[in-house]
Structure 1
Amino acid sequence: MGVVVIGEICRDLVLQVTEHPGPDASAAVLERREMLGGKGANQAVGLAQLGETVELIGVAGEDEVGAECLEQLAADGVGIRGVARRGSTALMVTTVDGSDDRRLFEQRPATALVTEADVIDALAGVSATDTVSIQLQQPAAPALAAVRAAKRVGATVVADGVVEGRSRDELLPGVDVLRADGKEAAILGGEPIEEVAKAAALGRQLVAEGPGLVVLAVPGVGDLLVWSQGDHLLPLADVSVVDRTGAGDAFVAGLVHGMRQGGGAVDIGRLATAAAAATVQRLGGRPDLTGLCS
């Protein structure tokens, strides 16, 4: 049995700069890294590093960059049968200065987004799947299609992000685990969620709508786990932060792996926090979670 991840594939260009310049100014680049990226790809790679059998559903361009992304995914041990090829590959440029201030520049062609047809076609060719992890930063229709397909085969559904309106009403009852960062939690709650008490109240509301476990980031504090029997705060790890870009992706990879190992909510959360901590100490969103294998 294995994991299917649905999400973005892109080329990441990461620049560590002395400072972020103002208008008509420049700054020196201390380090430059180009790598496979995207929330879906990063999470799938992290899961493979943790020893999981994983298939990725996403879109790589028909360009040379897309071919290179697929080669890297295969080398990382990620199944790519569910990756569609069309258009040009998405690009994310990240600049990071010494104060952990980030600037993000995204080129995301419409053709690079996962469609409902992509999900239906790919899941039809993937067998023995017991966990489906969905990045909700993609359009709502493919996410809903994935939830329906997962429920038909009794798979656990993990969702990372937020959808609104009618899509939320349909999606949440089919989700087993929901994770949201600080900005996404604010959208879900209709206001900034900057206190643990507010996060706990929102988490209880979301659990009542369907998910058995909700994980909400509280900016500057940590991640709050909420389930029907209680809640638990996981403080931010005390590590030197170089780049926060891939923290959420690594967190979700750790969360999924911990669930599949049969741990309780707190143990699962601690593994997810350790995965995020291992990633933020390095430049770029690509994870290296091999040291966390159980």
Structure 2
Amino acid sequence: MRIAVVGQIARDLVLVVPEVPDAGGTSPVRQRREVLGGKGANIAVNVVQLGASAALVGVAGDDDVGDRLVDHLRADGVDTTSVARRGRSALIVDVVCDGRWRYLQDIPDTSLVAPTDLGPCVAEADAVVVQLQQPHDTALAAARRASGLVVLDGVAAPDVLAEADVLRADQHECEQLTGRSISSPDDALDAGRALLERGPSLVALEVGGEANVLVWPSGSAVVPLTEVAVVDTTGGGDAFVAALTVALVRGDGPEAAGRLAVAAAGRAVDHAGGRTDLGGLRAPGR
């Protein structure tokens, strides 16, 4: 089972603070972590932790930070053959206070994936995850070049969505895609059915703080969130996408895949930062 991931690679600096100061104020940092980050890197690492093979199509800077990021990816078992090196490495600062994040991002244009960065792994993989923070032309090229399952993560343009097999969107992204307010599972079910008409055969949507809803042509499922104390939601969506993709590629049905994905997301939100360990995770009821 081989999964290619097209997405961001970044240095992730996580700062946990008791309060966010006003202008001119200060606050102590209770916890600090510096880890490999970026949604593409997070998903690829999670895929490996779940027992599949992952190749990452991304960009690391042509600098010392980029060297360290690529070394971390290799140490995590990710194939970095299709990681390009140019410019300066992207930086994401995750400021966490009372379970809520605030991101400060330095993401140079050179750190975005270009269509020319797409290597042969995209066409050869059993599934391709396209993280939609990347340019439209790149997302479209990756989706069209794929021969396996195409999984989109985020807000997709109509022509990209038409190429998808699976769409994952959080509540805000779903509202952007559909122009509908999502405040309940029923709202998400209706939105999911509308999105099925645009191309994908499976849609997974978040209802914030309550559940994830999965919709496919012959059915649907509402999977409640796990009962964990939320420290930081960073990485929750990445873990969800990785687990959903791995489960679908290995042949799980949509509901079983959704339950594994929700369990993975639960593991990601009980600590600060997007670095998550999904090793040994099994679907509920297995």
* TM superposition score normalised by structure 1: 0.93
Structure-1 separation of matches of 2:136 and 2:122: 21
Q: CA deviation at 1:190?
A: 1.2
The residue aligned with 1:9 is 9
2:233 to 233, 244, 262: 244
Matched, 1:129 2:125: yes
The residue aligned with 1:268 is 257
1:146 to 128, 135, 142: 142
AA in 1 matched with 2:126 = D
Asked if the contact 1:51/1:293 (under 8 Å) is kept, the reply is no
Task: Give percent identity, aligned residues only.
Answer: 47
The residue aligned with 1:118 is 117
The residue aligned with 2:90 is 90
Structure-2 separation of matches of 1:140 and 1:240: 36
Structure-2 separation of matches of 1:145 and 1:127: 11
Relative to structure 2, which stretch is displaced further, 284-293 or 2-11? 284-293
Q: CA deviation at 1:261?
A: 2.2
The residue aligned with 2:181 is 192
AA in 2 matched with 1:100 = G
The runs of at least 4 consecutive aligned structure 1 residues that moved more than 6 Å come to none
More helix per residue: 1 or 2?
1
The 3-state SS of whatever aligns with 2:264 is: helix
2:154 to 157, 161, 182: 161
The residue aligned with 2:103 is 104
Structure-1 separation of matches of 2:3 and 2:63: 27
Change (3 A) 1:186 1:210: same
AA in 2 matched with 1:265 = P
Q: CA deviation at 1:217?
A: 0.7
* TM superposition score normalised by structure 2: 0.96
1:288 to 277, 280, 283: 277
1:184-223 correspondence runs (5 A): 184-223=173-212
Report the aligned-residue RMSD: 1.3
Structure-1 separation of matches of 2:222 and 2:236: 17
Structure-2 separation of matches of 1:293 and 1:219: 24
Unaligned runs of 5+ in 2: none
Report the number of matched residues. 283
Q: CA deviation at 1:282?
A: 1.6
AA in 2 matched with 1:146 = A
The residue aligned with 1:61 is 61
AA in 2 matched with 1:205 = A
Structure-2 separation of matches of 1:292 and 1:260: 16
Structure-2 separation of matches of 1:227 and 1:191: 19
AA in 1 matched with 2:164 = V
AA in 2 matched with 1:174 = E
Structure-2 separation of matches of 1:265 and 1:272: 10
Instruction: Show CA shifts across 1:122-160 (max 9, x none).
Output: 12x66742111100111111110011111xxx3110110
Asked if the contact 2:123/2:145 (under 8 Å) is kept, the reply is no
AA in 2 matched with 1:88 = R
Q: CA deviation at 1:47?
A: 0.4
The residue aligned with 1:181 is 170
Relative to structure 2, which stretch is displaced further, 204-213 or 75-84? 204-213
AA in 2 matched with 1:63 = D
AA in 2 matched with 1:131 = A
